[in-house]
Chains A and B, each alone.
Chain A
Amino acid sequence: MNKMAPVPLPEPWQGETYHGRPTLKPAEFDWKVAAYIAVQGAAGAAQVLAGVSRIEDPGDRNGLASRARAFALAGSVIAPAILIGHLKTPKRWYNMLRIVRPQSPMSWGSWVITAFGAASFAAWGAERMGWGRIADFAQIPASLAGAGAATYTATLLSTTSNPLWAAAPGPLAAQFAASSMAGGAAAVALLQRKAGKIESAQRLERLSAAALGAEAAASMMLSEAQRRAGVSAPLKKGPPAVLHKAGAQALGIAAPLLFRALGRPALASAAILLGGALLRQAVLRAGDESAKRPLDSLGFAREVRR
């Protein structure tokens, strides 16, 4: 930490920029990253629910834990494959496992999702082999890594110099985590409904609605914090704002609650999953806009903001 008082600058900042040019570069994480965050989030949360179900219902009489494990395993394989596709040099994906760097959420996150995949495979495989106790033992790391996989993507975005992503690390992470839980519960609810386990599906649907409530609350805190930091413009106007309002809020939060009220729970679950992906895409696109706005970036890096 620098304890010395900074040298006074010639005069207060009046909003000058360098010819209005951007001072930061956009990350340009494409739609694959948005899809990755949504799939990994839902899969991670499903593995948390598998753990909850094993505690609540040790006999797995409704098959929830088994289906949640299968969904989580599928997600833990598909999501990293999508992520590797976004790399600009994908054939070197394995360099992600070359080092462990605690300061980099991209580094330890790679290890978390690797552990998530391995533990998910162990839990699913042991169960298929009829080794229930081994499956339950593997469930512990699988659920813990699942919680990490459902959350760390927000940490990854906040731990940058991007004004929009960095403005409020806590609310952004709460928003992503709640959206992940809504998606995980919605996905497992769809599987339970298909298997005819209606009561279990209904309870999962209620949980996903509660998670949407938490997501809405976190979103309100987030937009208030972004407004106070002077970085909220990309989510107020322009294409990312439209995506955020129509995709994340209308389709992702309002529509599922409406579908539930109309007695169309499967439709509600599908809307939650799609809305979760659109939320992530809106946040990524708005972040790219944020980086291109010199008043936002220069204003943000002016006072202590962690």
Chain B
Amino acid sequence: MDGGLINPGRQEAERTAGARIEPGRSYGFFTDTTLCIGCKACEVACKEWNGLPADGDMRLSGHSYDNTGALGAETWRHVGFVERLDDRPGEMKPFQSNWIMFSDVCKHCDPAPCLEACPTGALFRTEFDTVVVQQDICNGCAYCVPACPFGVVEISKADGKAHKCTLCHDRMKGGMEPACAKACPTDSIQFGALEDLIPRAHERVEQLQEMGQDRAYLYGAPGTPGATHGIEKLNAFFLLTERPEVHGLPSEPVRPAPRAQPSLIAGLGTLAGLAAAALVFGLGGRR
């Protein structure tokens, strides 16, 4: 069964990522910060493949080597740089120098708050268990923007539609691994089926701990920080050695949808109370 794939034979992803892409399975990224060298090949490959324009005005941010700034409508991979020289002087942990690089991306949450917020169905869950915006349906209502717990989705000023990482849905259709993962020279970004990636990531944590890096932990894999309060898993998950906040990640993201119930009860209750007062005290009879 080829499930509509363009290349049902031996896929390129099998050669480059050791992963066969089949509709109906869950795919994602395992991004290992201990392997990132901050080369930004992922950012470039993403921009190239997806035809995204350059960021901003080419000014230096002063935030270490990060002149990209943040994920957004036109930036779907973002390499963060944290220099820990002042706060840990003279100390150099094995496997992660005092310079921490971290390639951020849309987490393809499950369940995804952006998708749950979308009123048009433009945001949908694909056959690969990823979350994609259908550009021919989005009407730019922007409700997905505040819904995202990670500040990923953004409305493009150029076309008035929401944009974010698609996990290279088009490449996956063709049996190819996403551009960022393929370009990554150290395999800091690994693409694959989650059933393979998650055990591999747990093994990597154990391996690092045996080597003396006792701060390593997973963020976003089931049962780890990042997969909290109704968010079961992040299909793009991470291996970190610093607290999530150091990278601008919330330590316990929350699925917003359950807040509707207490809100509706209080709002409609208040309105009903005032309407009842109007009925009891009257609205004026004949005059």
Residues of A within 8 A of B (CB): 1-2, 4-11, 13, 16-19, 21-29, 45, 48-49, 51-53, 55-57, 61-62, 64, 87-90, 92-93, 95-96, 98-99, 101, 103-107, 109-110, 147-148, 150-152, 154-156, 158-162, 165-166, 169-174, 176-178, 180-181, 185, 192, 197-204, 206-207, 210-211, 214, 218, 287, 291, 294, 297-298, 300-306
The interface residues of chain A lying within 8 Å CB-to-CB of B72 are 25
In the assembled complex, how far is the CB of residue A223 from the closest CB belonging to chain B, in whole angstroms?
Answer: 15
- CB–CB A98/B120 < 8 A: yes
Which residues on the B side are within 8 Å of A302 (C-beta)?
250-252
Q: Interface code B253-287, partner A: CB below 8 Å = 1, 0 otherwise?
A: 11011111011111111111111011101111111
Q: Do A18 and B283 touch (CB < 8 A)?
A: no
Which B residues lie within 8 Å of A300 (CB)? Answer: 250
Picked from B117, B146, B225, B271, the residue with its CB within 8 Å of the CB of A9 is B225
Asked whether B244 lies within 8 Å of A159 as measured between CB atoms, the reply is no
On whether the beta carbons of A10 and B217 are closer than 8 Å, the reply is yes
User: Please, how many angstroms separate the alpha-carbon atoms of A76 and B122 in the complex?
Assistant: 26
Alpha-carbon distance between A88 and B279 when the two chains are bound, in angstroms: 42
Please state if B265 and A23 are interface contacts (CB–CB under 8 Å).
Answer: no
* B175 adjacent to chain A (CB < 8 Å): no
**Residues of B contacting A106 with CB < 8 Å?**
117-119, 141, 143
Within the complex, what minimum Cβ distance (angstroms) separates A240 from chain B? 15
| Inter-chain contact B281/A62, CB cutoff 8 Å | no
- Say what secondary structure dominates the interface of chain B: loop
* Residues of chain B within 8 A of A207, CB atoms compared: 274, 277-278, 281, 283
What is the interface residue range for chain B against chain A? 35 or more
Chain A interface secondary structure, helix, strand, loop or mixed? helix
How far in angstroms is the closest Cβ of chain A from B201? 12
Q: Please pick, from A56, A95, A181, A297, the residue contacting B250 in the complex, using a CB distance under 8 A.
A: A297
Q: Which of B160, B242, B266 has the most CB of A within 10 A?
A: B266
**A301 B139 Cβ-Cβ under 8 A:** no
| Most central of B143, B281, B283 by chain A CB within 10 Å | B283
Which residue in B66, B70, B117, B282 is a CB contact (below 8 Å) of A203?
A: B282
Q: Does B28 contact A (CB under 8 A)?
A: no
Contact (Cβ within 8 A) A174 B284? no
Contacts of B208 in A (CB 8 A): none
Bound-state CA distance A9–B142 (Å) is: 33
> Judging by beta carbons under 8 Å apart, are A25 and B154 in contact?
yes
Which single residue of chain B is at the shortest CB-CB distance from A53?
Answer: B283
Structural contact, A17 and B284, CB atoms closer than 8 A: no
Tell me which of B16-24, B49-57, B187-195, B228-236 binds A: B228-236
Q: How far is the CA of A64 from the CA of B287 in the complex (A)?
A: 10
Complex contacts, B273 vs chain A, CB 8 Å: 214
Query: What are the residues of chain A within 8 A of B69 when measuring CB–CB?
Result: 21
Are A6's CB and B283's CB within 8 A?
no
A27 and B120 form a contact (CB under 8 A): no
Selected contact of A6 from candidates B151, B223, B268, CB within 8 Å: B223
- The answer to whether B264 and A151 have CB atoms under 8 Å apart is yes
Contact of A161 among B148, B268, B277 (CB under 8 A): B148
